[in-house]
Amino acid sequence: MKTNHRTIHREDYTEPDYYTPEIRMSFELNPESTLIRSVLSVERNKSKQHSPLVLSGECMKLIEVSIDGKKLKNGEYTVNDRELVLSIDADKAEVTTLVEINPSENTALEGLYMSGSMFCTQNEPEGFRRITYSIDRPDNMTRYTVELIADKKNYPVLLSNGNRISETELPGGKHSVIYVDPFPKPSYLFAVVAGDLDRISDSFNTRSGREIELNIYSDRGNADRCFHAMESLKKAMKWDEERFGLEYDLDTYSIVAADSFNMGAMENKGLNIFNSSYVLAAPETATDSDYLGIESVIAHEYFHNWTGNRVTCRDWFQLTLKEGLTVFRDQEFSADVQSPTVNRIMDVDSLRADQFEEDAGPNSHPVRPDNYIEINNFYTRTVYEKGAEVIRMIHTILGEERFMGGMKLYFERHDGRAVTCDDFVDAMQDASGIDLSVFRRWYGRAGTPVLCVDGSYDTEKKAYTLKLRQQNSDRRYPPDAEPLHIPIKIGLLYDNGEADLPNEGLIHLMENEQTFIFNNIKQRPALSVNRGFTAPVKVKSGHSDDELRFLFANDSDSFCRWDAGQSAALKSLRSAVEAFNRGSGAVYPDSLLQAYGSVIEDKNIDNSFKALALLLPSEQLICQEMNPVDFEAVHAARRSLKSAVAHNFRDSLLKLYQELEDDSAYSPDMESIGRRSLRLRCLEYISELNSGESIELCKNHFLNAGNMTDSIGSLRVLAGIDSPVSLECLSIFREKWQDNMLVMNKWFAVQAASSLPGTLDKVKQLEMDSAYNVKVPNIVRSLLVTFSRNQLRFNSQRGDGYRYIAEKIKEIDPINPSMSSMLAGSFKMYGRLDEARRLEMRKALEDVLAGPGLSKNAYEIVSKTLGMNK
Ligand code: TRP
Ligand code: ZN
């Protein structure tokens, strides 16, 4: 087994031996052979001892290297497949290299590669070393001058960061463009794009009166699907000025949509490159959630210009410095322009499903990791979403005004620098005068804290006593590990109204166990706890069914209202799973069914909230505390509750479904989105009636759909039904959209997510579809990653789901290690399987490890899953 993959430790950080304050580059772009000449001005770090200059470089052919204009001969340097080592005599030198690379063979999609016929780059975190020999680390800041030379007919558009200072016609049908980026930046923010692209343009006037030119580039024929992205960009620019006081700094801002892209989007300075799925939108092709996702991701990348680019990370262990903070900012933006309630609920729902699971699994890590084998594996839910919750807690503790004071100090101190998470917390602490020394522990602690809550009321003293106890769920820490500073918002609810609490009910748990007493409490209250999800913890509240029902009906905090409903459903679902295990059928308490009935029939609940209240906890969530997990029982329990609700409230569901029909033109506003999502939720329940009539209704919904939300929403329901009608609709859809990659991805995904027993065979068959392409990450994600997240079918008892995905990891690893490691993440339930499944999974994973030359990406995930690195 190959184990020569080195682990990098955070504590080993040292400053670079050399810096490159300036680089001049020239690219001669050809898909099969691109020549890159780079002139690096190299400066020795004065605090370092004399040492050789080590430049990183991978997947390239070195043609020549010179120092201060003198070409080096063999033996005057050493080079291998990872680095070029030179000896430098003076404190400064000019190092020139000429290398050749092959973008068309670059299927890893890091460095310079082809997305279709377009050249583009992805350099975060360590892609720049695939373009040229360099000091490829974020604490090395460089001013770039870049010349791009290419055939003018095939590549009329040539882009890089910063300002275009010249354009020249060259002999042989070529042209050359030169860019200068005035802002020094780390190499991971460097970008190049070349292609025959469509463009839409607009402009934005900053509050200081500067006019910024805005451009969105896409493949020919897609320009008319870029307008929503442009509107989103302008909204984000305005919002950042108003809320954070931050203005854009360059004269142009460009976004390029690429079809082949490993993740969502990339914040390259002044030249963002996006996965086309986060740019292109039209009512016929994009769903409501695509529209909302585009708005959020455009904002996220734009916000990085300050939180990420102007102030960047000292080293990759600090990744959450920019990602947690920028996710917090994009969540705040989306709450403002979309819906504070709906967004918060959906963010928390996905945090619990995915981040809590990650934090309980084999690849759990703190928001600021202590070590890694491959940094690409740490662009995780934890670093991003839990990281955003950590920032949100600082915001809660300080309050808006002091938090903004902290941001101001952070930029005053660190603009133009590469810094650490501690620098950020220092700025927040120094600006506010609030001690964050206990709070800081969040950065180093893996696992989800469990908060045990015990409340009691003293009728005589009119006092409410709240005992809070925090425990760490992660095995790596002793139960009495140093306590975290956990800010918790609570409310005490009376039969009508609620108690006035100091500080809006915000309390600070700073010890492992702490008691809080509230006086002047008129009557025994119901406790509403962790309002708005102030802290990313699991609350054990011990609420009875009656209390949950009361909170669901009366809590003024809409997050807690929703959460009370979820807790009640989860309790019943978990006991239903046990009933299935004992061989008896599940019986749901009448009160629970009645609660669903009254939600369906309530005229005063807003549609989007109603849709969320009727969303049953996911299978992922239901099984979270189970070991071993009984996947069949979990699925059956959830289905039987859905079906019980459908049968009990058939008429109300049908009535509501009809009332929600609307044939006005499509608009992605929150009200219409809420209406569509509730109507589809009704359809989902109705389909559980499994009658000729209900299938007919699904089919008509599909055939009459006037937008992609309704079309794919109904097709998703149909894909879970074993009926010729479903097959017919699936093929109508394919026929219509076969040439649209983004839409075909939705078609792959609904089939891979189906709970039908033939799903694995179907997935294998879809791999043969002419629209499938193993080299395009979006397609692989739609088919294979979706299947691997299909809990019921991936975890089939026979182990064939495991073997299949293991095979695919082996096949995809040499093509694209980011994708193979994402697939490897599917095996995170290893520690929570019954013996038979565990054996199957182990065999499948050992088979992956046994292959020759597994990438460090996949190696790290698989070996940690098998517990080999302990
Ligand atoms: N920094 C990007 C963001 O969060 C994400 C990113 C990191 C990325 N590495 C990537 C995107 C590789 C694409 C490919 O906005
Ligand atoms: Zn980001």
In tens, the pLDDT along 163-179 reads: 999 999 999 999 999 99
Q: Is 14 exposed, middle or buried (0-12, 13-18, 19+ CB in 10 A)?
A: exposed
Cβ–ligand 1 distance for 265 under 6 Å, the answer: yes
Among 106, 115, 122, 301, residue to substitute to test ligand 1 (most atoms within 8 Å of Cβ):
122
pTM of the model: 0.98
Catalytic residue among 301, 323, 358, 619: 301
User: Can you give the pLDDT at residue 3?
Assistant: 61
Atom of ligand 1 nearest to the CA of 323: 4
Contact between residue 479 and residue 471 where contact means Cβ atoms under 8 Å apart: yes
Rounded Cα–Cα distance for residues 22 and 45 (Å): 15
Question: What is the average pLDDT value for the chain, to the nearest integer?
Answer: 97
Of the two residues 48 and 66, the one the predictor is more confident about is 66
Distance 304 CA to ligand 2 centre (A): 7
Atom of ligand 1 nearest to the CA of 301: 15
Q: Which two tokens stand for residue 462?
A: 């009119």
Distance 319 CA to ligand 2 centre (A): 9
511 is catalytic: no
Whose C-alpha lies nearest to ligand 1, atom 2? 266
Rounded Cα–Cα distance for residues 285 and 424 (Å): 41
Distance 6 CA to ligand 2 centre (A): 26
76-100 pLDDT tens trace: 999 999 999 999 999 999 999 999 9
User: Can you give the pLDDT at residue 476?
Assistant: 74
Contact between residue 585 and residue 639 where contact means Cβ atoms under 8 Å apart: no
Q: Give the H/E segment covering residue 714.
A: helix 708-719
Is the pLDDT at 148 greater than 60, yes or no? yes
Rounded Cα–Cα distance for residues 304 and 323 (Å): 8
Rounded Cα–Cα distance for residues 212 and 216 (Å): 13
Cβ–ligand 1 distance for 262 under 6 Å, the answer: yes
Is the pLDDT at 555 greater than 60, yes or no? yes
Q: Which two tokens stand for residue 769?
A: 């579809």
| pLDDT-based confidence at residue 754 (cuts at 50, 70, 90) | very high
Distance 266 CA to ligand 1 centre (A): 5
| pLDDT-based confidence at residue 586 (cuts at 50, 70, 90) | confident
Q: Which ligand is nearest to the CA of 330?
A: 2
Rounded Cα–Cα distance for residues 666 and 282 (Å): 10
Q: What is the mean pLDDT of residues 404-429?
A: 99
Among 106, 124, 190, residue to substitute to test ligand 1 (most atoms within 8 Å of Cβ):
124
Rounded Cα–Cα distance for residues 513 and 307 (Å): 36
Distance 43 CA to ligand 1 centre (A): 29
Cβ–ligand 1 distance for 122 under 6 Å, the answer: yes
User: Can you give the pLDDT at residue 852?
Assistant: 87
Distance 472 CA to ligand 1 centre (A): 30
Q: Which two tokens stand for residue 184?
A: 């020094």
User: Can you give the pLDDT at residue 4?
Assistant: 77
Which of 305-309, 471-475, 496-500 has the weakest average pLDDT? 471-475
Is the pLDDT at 223 greater than 90, yes or no? yes
Contact between residue 645 and residue 580 where contact means Cβ atoms under 8 Å apart: no
Whose C-alpha lies nearest to ligand 1, atom 7? 124
Three-state DSSP at 244 gives: helix
Contact between residue 846 and residue 838 where contact means Cβ atoms under 8 Å apart: no
Is the pLDDT at 432 greater than 60, yes or no? yes
Cβ–ligand 1 distance for 301 under 6 Å, the answer: yes
How many residues does the structure list for the chain?
870
Q: Which of 516, 437, 447, 436 is nearest to 481 (CA)?
A: 447
Atom of ligand 1 nearest to the CA of 109: 14
Residue 853 amino acid letter: G
Q: Which of 357, 280, 313 is nearest to 188 (CA)?
A: 313
For residue 364, CA distances in Å to 163, 190, 473, 860 come to 42, 31, 11, 12
Distance 645 CA to ligand 2 centre (A): 40
Whose C-alpha lies nearest to ligand 1, atom 11? 263
Q: Which ligand is nearest to the CA of 822?
A: 1
Q: What is the mean pLDDT of residues 669-689?
A: 98
| pLDDT-based confidence at residue 480 (cuts at 50, 70, 90) | confident
Q: What is the mean pLDDT of residues 685-712?
A: 97
Whose C-alpha lies nearest to ligand 1, atom 5? 266
Cβ–ligand 1 distance for 124 under 6 Å, the answer: yes
Which of 787-791, 843-847, 865-869 has the weakest average pLDDT? 865-869
Contact between residue 97 and residue 62 where contact means Cβ atoms under 8 Å apart: yes
User: Can you give the pLDDT at residue 718?
Assistant: 98
For residue 474, CA distances in Å to 85, 620, 721 come to 43, 19, 40
User: Can you give the pLDDT at residue 472?
Assistant: 85
183-209 pLDDT tens trace: 999 999 999 999 999 999 999 999 999
Among 262, 309, 781, 822, residue to substitute to test ligand 1 (most atoms within 8 Å of Cβ):
262
Whose C-alpha lies nearest to ligand 1, atom 3? 266
Is the pLDDT at 367 greater than 80, yes or no? yes
In this prediction, what percent of the chain has a pLDDT beyond 90? Answer: 96
Rounded Cα–Cα distance for residues 701 and 705 (Å): 6
Distance 759 CA to ligand 1 centre (A): 31
558-585 pLDDT tens trace: 999 999 999 999 999 999 999 988 888 8
Q: Which ligand is nearest to the CA of 264?
A: 1
| pLDDT-based confidence at residue 49 (cuts at 50, 70, 90) | confident
Cβ–ligand 1 distance for 379 under 6 Å, the answer: yes
Cβ–ligand 1 distance for 323 under 6 Å, the answer: yes
Residue 637 amino acid letter: A
Distance 327 CA to ligand 2 centre (A): 7
Rounded Cα–Cα distance for residues 287 and 293 (Å): 10
The CA R_g of the chain, rounded to the nearest whole Å, is 28
Atom of ligand 1 nearest to the CA of 379: 7
Whether the bond into 125 is cis, omega within 30 of 0: yes
Cβ–ligand 1 distance for 267 under 6 Å, the answer: yes
In this prediction, what percent of the chain has a pLDDT beyond 70? Answer: 99
Among 379, 380, 382, 384, residue to substitute to test ligand 1 (most atoms within 8 Å of Cβ):
379
Cβ–ligand 1 distance for 315 under 6 Å, the answer: no
Atom of ligand 1 nearest to the CA of 262: 14
Atom of ligand 1 nearest to the CA of 263: 13
Rounded Cα–Cα distance for residues 254 and 218 (Å): 11
- Per the listing, tokens 């990370």 go with 313
CA dihedral in degrees (569, 574, 577, 582; nearest 10)?
-130
Question: CA angle, 839 as apex, 837 and 840 as ends, to 5°?
Answer: 65
Distance 150 CA to ligand 2 centre (A): 31
Is the pLDDT at 870 greater than 60, yes or no? no
